[in-house]
Structure 1
Amino acid sequence: MTPGLESIDPGVDGVLVRTQPVDVEGRVPFVVATRLHRALEPVASRASIGDGSIAHDGGQRVVAVGVYPGRDPHRLADGPLDRKASAVDLRPDALDDDATTVCGAGIDAGRSPDRRRSGARAMAGAWGHRSDQCTNEPISIQTIRVLHHLCESKHMPNLRGWLAAVLAIGATLASSGCAGAEGPVLTFSGSLVGQEGEIIARQLERFRQAHPALTVELRATPDAADERHQLYVQWLNARARDPDVLQLDVVWVPEFAAAGWIAGLDRFSPPVDRFFAAAVAADRWNGALYALPWFVDVGMLYWRTDLMSGPPRDLDDLTRMAKGARDHGVPFGLVWQGARYEGLVTVFLEHLGAYGGAILDDRGRVVLDSAAAEQALTYMRDAIEVEGIVPSAVLTWQEEQTRFAFQTGQAAFMRNWPYAYALLQDPAQSNVAGRFAVTSMPGGPGGAPTSALGGAALAINASSDQPAAAYQLIEYLLQPDQMIERARIAGQFPTRPALYETRALADALTIPPAEALTIIDRAVARPVTPVYSELSEILQIALHRALTGQQEPRAALQGAAAAMRTLLAKAKLAPEAP
């Protein structure tokens, strides 16, 4: 098949491609999963993916993996999949001419028609599924080898989790499509970062087996929370009936509830007293419950036990120890998420708490332009420009880039989330397995050790056709056994306090439950408001300007504080005028 040049129709329902810069040639890795939709009208279409294309004219579902030579988001046309889809080479020896069939569709591996265009080479592997033609034939070892080759590439360190998830999704489709595909279809949408994709695919399959009348489907979303938020807003604002169940960041619940996008859960009488009270409080808006806490995320400071005898006592100690590690040949003293996205806000929040500051006070008034906030942001800037303990490269990094730097032994300290713990302990992929520990970001003058409160909640799409079945799925995913599995594989902290006293969780978590509780107790929540996304956007811009030297910290924070006051006043959400 000759690669097509047609552009992807942005009006066709599908899933936004996740993009992230990885090298100087401008290639960006992505994984695209379509909505895993119900049967569509058999209208022929073609989606262009880099140098490759996928032609559509006879199936039902598509999953594609590849590299797109550019930085703009695109959409994969959501049409039926042809029985053969071309794959265009990313590496000279990556593919051969083998083909394989998976549940009624084929994968052909071919050579790039133009090897000279090395900056634009792309590999697009696709498989489709037709419930009336299921053969349950496995994906060939050659196909897996090709995809594994891509994951091992130095240019694509964060694709491994996506690949595992995509393969798991393919296996789930192969079984679920042949059993009960004519019944109701329940769709779950959430993150596949790290090992989350493998876990959720397995848990959804077990739920489907326990509910044979349902077909359960997984709609993948981007790793970055900001991109996932934008995608959800697009779906829900259009009153799309699926996905039925959504994984929400803890700060999105007030916004989505106020907009009428998610359904109230009080009618189901959930056992809220079995979860952390603070987590449940974040899932309420105007006194009503709109979500249930799935797992607790807290920012943690990872430190190398082979380089130092104990964790830093305060920020000055952190600076001194990070410098010492660099003097002993470790390239980076400290790495954190510094790209202009939500992760940067959580990093700043931990530094802000270290100096005793806040974004909003208890009355909802903006206090971002305080001396404490200026000290916190100045410390972050100086860590890059003056002390040299943080590489300037972090200003484009998110979670996976920082994890990759730490697990390859290039950093002495890393600020990240619990999901990284289990991955770092895997000797098959980590150079620091067994040689690190965790703590909170240490305190500074006027503050205390602080961790940003994160995590996920499960909510029901207000436009879902089957809210009762959706709540059944939420109940299942919140069962103790499912939470312990997530703790064991992904290192995510359960939201049920009682589990922290059990041997099962102690065996599952690589960090002692008592230490996890200590870090959770130090967690600080981000502002609870329906306009949090707008507040965050204002803060992201200001922080990044200060860290990149475009503005002094004081000027950046003063400008952000003024913009926040204007926003809250217009929204009638604060007792202050702009």
Structure 2
Amino acid sequence: MKINKLLVSLLAGVTLLGGVVQAAELSMVFGDTGNALAFLQEQLTRFKEKTGHNVTVVPMPSSTTDQFGQYRLWLAAGNTDIDVYTTDVIWAPQLADQFVDLTEAAKDVVADFFPSIIESQTASGKLVAIPSFTDAPALYYRKDLLEKYGKAVPKTWDELAATAKEIQDAERAAGNPDMQGFVFQGNAYEGLTCDALEWVKSSGGGQIVEPDGTISINNENAVAALERAKSWIGTIAPEGVLAYQEEESRGVWQLGNAVFMRNWPYAYSLGNSDDSAVKGKFDVTTLPIGKEGDTSAATLGGWNLAVSKYSDEQAAAIELVLFLSSAEEQKQRAIKQTNLPTRIAIYDDPEVAAAAPIIPLWKDVFLNAVPRPSAPTKVKYNEVSSLFWSAVHDTLSGNGTAAENLELLEGKLTELKGAGW
């Protein structure tokens, strides 16, 4: 890859007034979900037309856990082949030392972004990455089936379970043996941390580790939330959900075989595509709560663009980051991918509202979203999350009760914390 960059650097000079500007050969890593890679290729074509720079995409697995592991290996080795990294919102404190400080490069546009999202990508005063799109999950529901059976959109998790079971059983009796009540992300990976944090937080069980660093997960509300989720397995959710990530959940949903689904906004446009069995048959709402008095919790997600400090094409890489996070590119991403913009003004764009009605509705949802505890746990977050999703997966799988697993988890987190995070 580096030889190819050198050749392009030598051969691709473009004469302009004032001197010679050489087109760069860049590489960026990207994890594909849905048709996101195809859309990115469209963006990179526009970028090349504008700048002359060519970008090669290095595909990554859709699992964020697998991506993070590979990133750490490359960055620890000082890999010069990757110029731009797409990063999860939780990774800034852990990878800050490996990325270029973008504060100066973004000074003219940073005010256009939501301050909280910029803050999430700032570590020790350094802007680690530019936000590309943000995320907050929704409860997808089959409005046609709820109308058919005279059911209201559920407000609590118990209401969801009851409605899911009734409609699932009726649809199976009517001739669809594949119908499921509820699909979500139950595999043992970062996605389960997101789902389970929502179950716990929306039931008054805290945020695993609180903003002040206190380990809070071992409490009766968290236990009740996980036991409730465990009761879904094999009743309203298939046993196979324990291996589902986002795309497996969407696959079941988009075939018309689920009443409810928990997923991110990207699934909205795909669900309304011409080849979707649920086109025009569903809607979205905020995730349920445990009981009256609790508040809905949607895990704050989102993807950002960072420049490797080991890149030998940093100037061109910064151009790419600013282009992909620009207002026009974010608008196109919102319209075509239903990804939530990180620039405030796009939420009031009528073209965006017409193409993706979910986006204006989600402005307040994601601003009130619950963050994963990456800020208080800093470089130890990945281990914290792994311990948490393992305890949750054990519980869902029947390997110990929620009370037993959360007590063990508390002990492991206390040991990991040591004298401090």
**In 2, Cα distance between equivalents of 1:267 and 1:500:** 26
Question: For the structure 1 residues 179 and 508, does the alpha-carbon distance in structure 2 shift closer, same or farther, using more than 3 Å as the test?
Answer: farther
d(CA) in 1 for partners of 2:56, 2:197:
36
Structure 1 contact 439–519 (Cα < 8 Å) conserved = no
Report the alpha carbon displacement of residue 510 of structure 1 after superposing the two structures with TM.
4.1
Residue equivalent to 1:121:
none
How far apart, CA to CA, are the structure 2 residues paired with 1:196 and 1:345?
23
- The answer (yes or no) to whether the contact 2:141–2:260 under 8 Å persists in 1 is yes
2:168 matched residue in structure 1: 326
The answer to whether 1:299 aligns with 2:147 is no
| 1:199 to partner: Cα distance | 1.2
Match of 1:266 in 2: 103
Maintained 8 Å contact 2:353/2:360: no
The total of aligned residue pairs comes to 397
Q: Which residue of structure 2 lines up, in the alignment, with residue 441 of structure 1?
A: 287
SS of match in other structure, 2:274 = coil
Q: Could you list the runs of 4 or more consecutive aligned residues of structure 1 that deviate by over 4 angstroms after TM superposition?
A: 178-183
2:50 equivalent to 1:200:
no
Name the residue aligned to 1:311: 153
| SS of match in other structure, 1:551 | coil
Tell me: higher relative CO, structure 1 or 2? Use CA pairs within 8 A at least 6 residues apart: 2
Residue 400 (structure 2) pairs with residue 400 (structure 1): no
RMSD over equivalenced CA pairs, Å: 2.2
Residue 397 of structure 1 and its aligned partner are, at CA, apart by 0.9
Which residue number corresponds to residue 351 of structure 1? 199
Alignment map for 1:29-428 (pairs within 5 Å)? 37-39=1-3, 183-212=23-52, 214-257=53-96, 260-270=97-107, 271-309=109-147, 310-330=152-172, 331-357=179-205, 358-384=207-233, 388-428=235-275
Q: Does 1:547 find its partner at 2:387? A: no
CA distance in 1, matches of 2:304, 2:411: 31
Distance 2:59 2:102 in 1: 24
Bigger Rg, structure 1 or 2: 1
Kept in 2, the 8 Å contact 1:421–1:491? The answer is: yes
Asked if the contact 1:484–1:508 (Cα under 8 Å) also holds between the matched residues in 2, the reply is: no
d(CA) in 2 for partners of 1:224, 1:536: 14
What is the CA deviation profile of residues 216-253 of structure 1, one whole-angstrom value per residue up to 9, with x for unaligned ones?
22111111111111111111110011311110000111
The answer (yes or no) to whether the contact 2:168–2:181 under 8 Å persists in 1 is: yes
Query: Is 1:482 the equivalent of 2:329?
Result: yes
Deviations 1:433-465 (A, max 9, x none): 000011121111352111111110111111111
Q: Which has the higher helix share?
A: 2
Aligned-residue sequence identity (percent) comes to 32
Paired residues of 2:12 and 2:23 also in contact (CA < 8 A): no
Aligned partners of 1:372 and 1:460: how far apart in 2?
Answer: 41
Distance 2:103 2:368 in 1: 29
TM-score, normalised on structure 1?
0.66
User: 8 Å contact 2:84–2:308 — kept in the other structure?
Assistant: yes
Residue 180 to residue 565, structure 1, CA distance change in 2 (3 Å)? farther
CA deviation string 1:125-155 (max 9, x = no partner): xxxxxx99xxxxxxxxxxxxxxxxxxxxxxx
1:515 paired with 2:364, answer: no
Q: How far apart, CA to CA, are the structure 1 residues paired with 2:302 and 2:13?
A: 33
SS at match of 2:85: strand
Supply the distance in 1 between the matched residues of 2:139 and 2:343 (Cα, whole angstroms). Answer: 23
Q: Which moved more, 1:534-543 or 1:352-361?
A: 352-361
Give the conservation status (yes or no) of the 8 Å contact 1:485–1:508: no
- Equivalent position amino acid for 2:184 in 1: W
SS in 1 for 2:260: strand
